[in-house]
Chains A and B, each alone.
Chain A
C-alpha cells in the first residue's frame, strides 16, 4: 500500500523477539513444535469443509464433464460411458445450436455483469460519500439503504416479479394507468425489456453490499487528509479524486472482484424472476447451464459448460489480480 496509515484491524503479526524479554522466564525449547501445530489444527475444520464443499464437488464436476451422464446413468455413475472431451466439443461447437446459444448466453452475461457491477459500485460510492459526515437521519438512511441486502433473496425477487407483471404489476399500473407515460402496457419479463428488468433487480440487490464495504472503507480515511486537501483549496470532486478514491483502493480491489464473480454466477435472481427459463434476451449463463443439465437431463454437457465457465472466471480473476498487483508494486 502506498499509504503509511495502519488499518485499525491490522495488528503486527510478528512480534519483535526483543519484546519477549519483558516475560520473566524465556520459553523452554521443547514447547516450540507444539505451539506451531496449533494454527494447523485450528485450520483443520476449515480445510475439511473447504474440501467437502468446494474442492471435491469441483473435481467430481470435472469428472462428470467427461462422461455421457444422461438419465440412463445418473443412478449409477459407474455405468456412464467415458467419452473424453466429446461434451466439450459438443457444447463449445459454436456452429451448433447448443454452442451458439451458449455463446449468446455468455455475451449476455458479460454485458449484464459489467453493467450491474458498474452501477452497483457507482450507487455504493455515492451513498457512502453522502453518508460520510454525520447529519440528522443518517442512521435511518443507512438502515434503509441496507434493506435490500437484508431481505431474503427469494422473497425480494418474487416481489419484483409481481411488480413487473404486465397486467397486474405495480410498475405498469404506475407508468400507464396513473402517470400515463405510456399508451400501451409494456412487457417487463419477456422480450427486450427482460434484460433491463433483470439488471435493475440485480443492481438493487447488490449495491447495498458495495455501499456497506465502501462505507467501512471511508471510516479509515483520516480526517487530516481532507483537512490538508481543504487547505490546498480542493473542492468536492478534487477531494474525491485525490483523497477518497486512492484511499479506498484496497477496498475497491476486493469489492469489484467479489461483485464481478457473484454477479456473473448469480442464479437466484434470474431463476426466481423468470421461473426457471429466462427469455433469450436475459439468458444468463448460470440459468443456461441449469437448463442444459437439469431440464434436459444431460449432466455431462452441463458439467462441461460449468468447467469451461470456471476456467474463464479463473483466467479473469488471475488476470485481474496480476494487473492490480503489478500496479500496486509500481505505485
Chain B
C-alpha cells in the first residue's frame, strides 16, 4: 500500500516536472538548426494569402540556391509593430523582418536590430547598390542604417475615369482647392468624391505629415522634441479632416475605416478619388480594370503660405532588417542579399507595383507603367522622409489617433474647428515624454 502510494506521488511529481520543462523547451529550435530562418513579411498584396502565394516560390528558389530554408509568416500591419516590439523585448522571434521604413529610427533605438555598417552592407551587395533616398529612410541620420530598403513607395492620387467624365471633369486636380471642388461635383447619388481610411492612425499620420509640409509645419524640432500643435500643423490637419467635415466630399462612414475599405470603395465605384501607395495590385484583385482609373501626383495647395514646402508624399517604403538575436546572422544577411538582388527586386516590385530599392533595375520597362512613373516622379522631386527620430512611431500613433477622433467628431456632426484640432494635437503632444 505504502509503496504504491509512494509510486503514485513519484509519478505525479515526475509528470508535473515534465510538463513544466516541456514549457521551457519549446521554441528553442527556431533557427537553431543552422539552416532555417524565420521571416516575417509585411502585408504588401491584397491579402495575407496573396502574399504567401507571391513570396513562397521565391523562398523555395532561395532554398534551392543556398540550402537555407526560410519559414514565412506574413504579419498584418495592425499587428506588425507590436510583434516587432515583442521580439525586440524578448530577444526571441524571427531572424529577418520587414519593417515600415518610418519605424526605422524607433526600432533602431531599441538596439535590437543588426547595424548595417559598411562591412555589413558589403555583405548584402554594397552601399552603392541602394537608392540613396531609400537608404536614408532606414535609420537616424549619422548612424549606420538599421535596415536596408526593399520596396520603395510614395502616395499618388487615384481617380475613377468614368466618374470624372460623367461629371464633366477633364483632368485630375492639381490643387486641394480643385480636389474639393471636383469632389463636390462627384458626390452625388450615393457616391462620394474622396475615400479616406479615417480610423487607421498610420494613414492619418502620413497625410498629416505631407499636409504639414505644405503648410510649412514640422512635427519635431531639430532636437527631436515634438511640435505637434503649431498653427501650421493645426491648419494642415484641419484641411485634411475638412474633406469630411466641411467639404462633405467624404462619406462619414469612412471614420470607421481601418481595414482598407477605402480601397474597396474606390474599386467598387463608391468613391471617385483615393490617396494611396501603389494601390494598383490591390485594385486589380478587386476586379477594377487598370484602364478604369487614372493616376496623378498628390495635389498641392493653390497658394502655399510662407514656409510651405513642395512636398506631396512621404518617402514611403518597406525596409528589411535582421534581429541581433539571430543565431544565423550570415544566413540572414544572405537572405537579405537575395531579396535585394536584381532578379528579386524586379520580380517582387513588379508584382506589388512598388519601385525597386536598388539602382540597377530601375530601367526595367515594368517600372515605366503610368502608376510607377508617378511614384518615380514623386519620389525624385516632391517626397520627403518622415522625421527619423526615435519617437517617430509614437508620433504616428498619437497624432494618427487624434485625427481618427477628429474624423469621428466630423462623422457624428460635431464641429471640427481650429480650437478642437489644436486641443487634440496639444493633448497628443503632452502624452509624449
Closest-by-CB residue of B relative to A194 is B408
Task: A165 to B2: give the CA distance in the assembly, Å.
Answer: 66
B interface majority secondary structure: helix
Contact yes or no, A41 B431, CB < 8 A = no
Which chain A positions have C-beta within 8 A of B390? Answer: 71-72
Closest to A189 in B: B256
Contacting pair B109 A71 (CB below 8 A): yes
Bound Cα distance from A280 to B406, whole angstroms: 12
Q: Does B7 contact A (CB under 8 A)?
A: no
User: Which residues of chain A come closer than 8 Å to B6, judged between CB atoms?
Assistant: 34
Chain A contact residues, majority secondary structure: loop
Q: What 1/0 mask marks residues of chain A from 274 to 305 whose CB sits below 8 Å from any chain B CB?
A: 01110110000000000000111110010000
CB-contact partner of A190 in B13, B412, B427, under 8 A:
B412
Q: What's the nearest-Cβ distance from chain A to residue B298, in Å?
A: 26
**Is the CB–CB distance between A97 and B405 below 8 Å?**
no
Of A41, A192, A297, the residue contacting B85 (CB under 8 A) is: A297
A173: Cβ under 8 A from any B Cβ: no
Query: Complex Cα distance A294/B393, Å?
Result: 11
Contacts of A275 in B (CB 8 A): 78, 199, 258
How many residues of chain B have a CB within 8 Å of chain A?
A: 45
- Among the 9-residue stretches B61-69, B124-132, B173-181, B394-402, the one with 4 or more Cβ atoms under 8 Å from chain A is B394-402
Map CB proximity to B onto A78-99 as digits: 1 under 8 Å, 0 otherwise.
0000000000001000001110
Contact A187 B255 (CB under 8 A): yes
**Is A41 a contact of B13 with CB atoms below 8 Å?**
yes
Are B78's CB and A96's CB within 8 A? no
Cβ of B433 and Cβ of A90 under 8 Å apart?
yes
Binds B, one of A42-50, A116-124, A125-133, A208-216: A42-50
Query: B427: nearest residue on chain A (CB-CB)?
Result: A97
Residue among B111, B251, B427, B430 making CB contact with A75, cutoff 8 Å: B111
For the complex, is A231 an interface residue (Cβ under 8 Å from B)? Answer: no
**Cβ proximity bits B414-433 to A, threshold 8 Å, 1 near / 0 not:** 00000000000011001111
Q: Does B331 contact A (CB under 8 A)?
A: no
- Indicate whether A187 sits within 8 Å of B411 (C-beta atoms), given known contacts A38-B9, A41-B12, A275-B199: yes
Contacts of A187 in B (CB 8 A): 252, 255-256, 408, 411-412
A44, A96, A97: the one within 8 Å of B13 (CB): A44
| Nearest CB of A to B79, in Å | 9
Q: Answer yes or no: B223 CB below 8 A from chain A CBs.
A: no
Chain B residues whose CB sits within 8 angstroms of the CB of A20 once the complex forms: none
In the assembled complex, the Cα of A96 lies from the Cα of B78 at a distance in Å of 29
- Pick the contact of A279 from B82, B405, B427 — CB < 8 Å? B405
**Interface hits, A142-198 → B, CB 8 Å:** 165-167, 187, 189-192
- The 8 Å CB contact of B433, one of A31, A189, A277, A298, is A298
A295 to B81, alpha carbons, bound, how many Å?
A: 9
- Could you name 28 residue pairs across A and B whose Cβ atoms are closer than 8 Å? A34-B2, A38-B9, A41-B13, A42-B12, A44-B13, A45-B16, A71-B106, A71-B390, A72-B110, A72-B111, A74-B110, A75-B89, A96-B430, A97-B427, A97-B431, A166-B256, A187-B411, A190-B199, A190-B256, A275-B199, A275-B258, A277-B201, A277-B401, A279-B408, A294-B82, A296-B398, A297-B85, A297-B106
